[in-house]
Amino acid sequence: MARKRGQNEGSIFQRKDGRWCGVLNLGWENGRRKRKNFYGKTASEVQEHLLKARSDHSRGLPVAIERQTVGQYLDHWLEHTLKAKAKPRSYESFSTIARLHIKPSLGKIQLHKLAPQHIQKLLDEKSKKGLSPQTVTNIRTVLRSALSQAMKWNLVSRNSAAFVNAPRIPHKRIEPLNPTHARKLLETAKGGRYEAIYTVATSTASAAVARRKVTSSQMDAGGTETVRPSRSPSSTTCPTQPSRRRSGSSSGSWKVRLAR
């Protein structure tokens, strides 16, 4: 004789359309009974979902009563979680990204069914439409943050955005001003309120570049600087007061003791 199911253990039956259904009783709330339905093609599939939900319920973990979509969850997360801890500017930026880029494409998908493929497809489509790599990366950041909280609330089993590849953000190389451009900048700024700032900035930068370009000087371990005189026949520059000790190198280098 089959054992009779206990209270709140749930029941499984086959519907007229051929699908199997499992019902889990979650007790009473405000005078109304709470139930959760599970559907599947076979009785064993429904039983598996039913056992997991019953285990979560017994451990105090939440069991979703309604099917929550990605759009509904984002609205709730933005308003009740992010808004309280983020700066106003960050909250506004996240809300704009969710409204313009995420919800139109993923908003109607069930939250627990959101897969990495959905997110990757969204990012690829945004890239093809001409959005910058930084904007596409920001879309992934919003989803990853939102799904991280959903995992803490046990609404999803994994963070699908963490398995998605973000586009590479190119870093532009900064080219310093050459002497011609620096002179033009100073001429343009002459008489303006920022003339002194530009003058000091260009002078400091020029001095730093000049120091880096001094490749003819080397420091040895003894704290001396080896200065190699120019080998150009037309050059008449030479050390006026060489040190008494001379380097043993055949290159004719002079070693001048640095001032401490």
Span 98-119, pLDDT tens digits:
999 999 999 999 998 999 999 9
Please indicate, yes or no, if residue 225 is contained in any of the structural domains: no
Q: How many domains does the chain have?
A: 3
- Same domain as 141, residue 95: yes
CA 125 to chain centre: 19
- Secondary structure of residue 40 in the 3-state scheme: strand
* Helix-, strand-, coil-residue percentages of the chain, each rounded to 5: 45, 15, 40
Residues 96 and 158 in one domain: yes
Establish if 237 belongs to a structural domain. no
CB 51 within 8 A of CB 12: no
Residue 20 and residue 42 in one domain: yes
**Is residue 218 situated within a structural domain?**
no
Q: Is residue 245 part of a domain?
A: no
Kindly state whether residues 85 and 141 are assigned to the same domain.
yes
> At residue 215, what is the residue type?
T
pLDDT category of residue 2 using cuts at 50, 70 and 90 = very low
DSSP result, 86-125? S-HHHHHHHHHHIIIIIHHHHTTSBGGG--HHHHHHHHHH
- What is the CATH classification number for the domain harbouring 85? 1.10.150.130
Residue 4 lies in a domain: no
For residue 34, give Cα distances in angstroms to 24, 64, 65, 81, 118.
9, 11, 8, 26, 32
CA dihedral 52, 53, 58, 60 (to 10 degrees): 120
- Residue with more model confidence, 185 or 7: 185
Q: Is 85 helix (H, G, I), strand (E, B) or coil?
A: helix
In this structure, are 37 and 81 located in the same domain? no
pLDDT tens digits, 172-220: 777 777 888 888 888 898 888 888 998 888 887 666 666 665 544 544 4
The Cα–Cα gap between 90 and 46 comes to 42
The mean per-residue pLDDT over the stretch 88-103 comes to 96
User: How far is CA 143 from each of CA 27, 59, 77, 252, rounded to the nearest angstrom?
Assistant: 34, 28, 11, 67
* Closest-CA residue to 102 (of 142, 129, 148, 132): 142
Q: Are residues 41 and 85 in the same domain?
A: no
Last residue of a domain, one of 103, 135, 163: 163
- Domain membership of residue 248 (yes or no) is no
Residues sharing a CB contact under 8 Å with residue 202, sequence separation 6 or more, in sequence order:
177, 182, 185, 186
Residue 190 is part of which domain span? 173-206
End-of-domain residue from the set 132, 163, 194: 163
143 and 201 co-located in one domain: no
Query: For 39-76, what is each residue's pLDDT tens digit?
Result: 888 988 888 888 877 777 676 665 654 568 999 999 99
Residue 189 within any structural domain of the chain:
yes
Of 163, 197, 226, the residue that ends a domain is 163
pTM for the predicted model, two decimal places:
0.52
Q: Which helix (DSSP H) or strand (DSSP E) does residue 53 occupy?
A: helix 43-58
Residues 134 and 152 in one domain: yes
